[in-house]
Structure 1
Amino acid sequence: MGFEFSRMIELMPEIWVAFGQTLYMIGISLAVAIILGLPLGVLLFVTDRGLFLENRIIQSSFGFVINMVRSIPFIILLVALIPLTDLIVGRTIGPAAASVSLSVAAIPFFARIVESALREIDKGVIEAAVAVGATPWMIIKDVLLPEAKTSIVQGVTLTIISLVAYSAMAGVVGGGGIGDLAIRFGYYRYDNTIMIVTVVILIILVQLIQQIGDWTSKAIDKR
């Protein structure tokens, strides 16, 4: 079966609903990733050896948990978190339910990106801030985050693109969104038209996100 334009027109209401669900899932999980992943990434950096809040126990413990979560394939994580999803959301299918697993996957991913961004900062800048008596909070707020903001924005872009891919996989377990549409109409019904449309939508979405991310990072880069 080839591509049928009339079939695409017929499915436009379903496509728009699925697209909205995908944006909903990405929006929630990205917000959670930034709110929790950003301070977690900062904590991993400042507690490392030689830094002003060095604490090997905290650094190693959080690092181990982050690596453990990141080592689990997302499709397995989706299934493993069903009890937690049911506890938090009250159901195990739909965009809100899928957002729980997406958030759990995104938090350690973004935290590592933040940690890597902070490691790019010249250690001399940090040492100078410590030498003048700046408090840890002042160093984080006035030195670390401003110096790493361009890399962090690029990390946000990468996280969003990863969430687009993860949200598509959430369709396998009834998470809704573009992936769910592709599974229900494209795979189960052997509908090539919907498969092509969903792939094109995802490609356009990723390209748009990348372009916006690149523009934003260049706009705030004052170096």
Structure 2
Amino acid sequence: MLNTVFPNVEWGVFKDATIETLYMTGVSVLFTFILGLMLGLALFLTNRGNQWENKFFNMIIAAVVNVFRSVPFIILIILLIPFTRILVGSMLGANAALPALIIGAAPFYARMVEIALREVDKGVIEAAKSMGATNFQIIFKVLIPESLPALISGITVTAIALVGYTAMAGVVGAGGLGNLAYIWGYQREQNDVTFVATVAILIIVFIIQFIGDLITKRIDKR
């Protein structure tokens, strides 16, 4: 039945491409969450009136975040070619896309983290300080727990953006569904391949959004 409707789709290749997209998305989301959380905390804590207030470091971190957040992803891939070759040894394959995916998404998520932390009630922070809590206790027992629903919502949005990034990375040889849609679909004028790859990407996005919304509702105590 499927072979009749989609005669040009090689399902083995489609399966491999889907696995590559899931791999790139999963690994990059994990590292983006860790790096973005660290950057977002640094932005928040070094800002005026916060625990580690430092105008100079805040400006440096903000500048780095703004620069990498502003560079279009396809250009970022090209700019990172020398770094990627040193790190991975190649510009082809799923692993070669990971540096650009993480570096492109982490600053975006860092800003979301900063916004989420700003929404934490100052009264809760002051109460923790008055009880003798250290800065690290405030971070891990007040700031992160209180902002967790927003942090999960933010990483959900970022993960969806990363799925789109993997599609763009596929155009320049990273593999995945983007590569399948472009090389096998567009260049060979096989519209059914492009359609199937697009539907698969949409399904992945819908699943990520569903899981993110479900987790957010479970942990949101408001």
The residue number in structure 2 matching 1:7 is 7
Residues 1-223 of structure 1: matches in 2 within 5 Å? 5-7=5-7, 10-223=9-222
Distance 2:130 2:203 in 1: 49
Report the alpha carbon displacement of residue 133 of structure 1 after superposing the two structures with TM: 2.1
Distance 2:4 2:48 in 1: 60
- For the residue of structure 1 that corresponds to 2:7, the secondary structure is helix
* 2:169–2:178 contact (8 Å) kept in structure 1: yes
Distance 1:35 1:157 in 2: 14
Residues 194-217 of structure 1 deviation map (CA, whole Å, 9 limit, x = unaligned): 111111111111111101110110
Report the alpha carbon displacement of residue 37 of structure 1 after superposing the two structures with TM: 1.4
Residues 12-40 of structure 1 deviation map (CA, whole Å, 9 limit, x = unaligned): 11110000000111112112112211111
Report the alpha carbon displacement of residue 135 of structure 1 after superposing the two structures with TM: 0.8
Distance 1:207 1:199 in 2: 12
* 1:4–1:193 contact (8 Å) kept in structure 2: no
Distance 1:6 1:65 in 2: 46
* 2:6–2:192 contact (8 Å) kept in structure 1: no
Backbone CA RMSD of aligned residues: 1.3
Residues 52-81 of structure 1 deviation map (CA, whole Å, 9 limit, x = unaligned): 211111111000000000110000001110
Normalised to the residue count of structure 2, the TM-score between the two structures is 0.96
Give the partner amino acid of 1:29: S
Distance 2:10 2:55 in 1: 55
Of 129-138 and 66-75, more deviation after overlay is shown by: 129-138
* 2:81–2:91 contact (8 Å) kept in structure 1: yes
Q: Point out where structure 1 has 5 or more consecutive residues left out of the alignment.
A: none
Give the partner amino acid of 2:86: L
Aligned length: 220
Report the alpha carbon displacement of residue 129 of structure 1 after superposing the two structures with TM: 1.6
Distance 1:162 1:101 in 2: 13
Report the alpha carbon displacement of residue 147 of structure 1 after superposing the two structures with TM: 0.1
Give the partner amino acid of 1:26: T
Report the alpha carbon displacement of residue 4 of structure 1 after superposing the two structures with TM: 5.5
Distance 2:15 2:55 in 1: 49
Distance 1:37 1:204 in 2: 26
Report the alpha carbon displacement of residue 90 of structure 1 after superposing the two structures with TM: 0.7
Report the alpha carbon displacement of residue 6 of structure 1 after superposing the two structures with TM: 4.3
Distance 1:90 1:74 in 2: 20
Give the partner amino acid of 1:120: E
Report the alpha carbon displacement of residue 5 of structure 1 after superposing the two structures with TM: 1.6
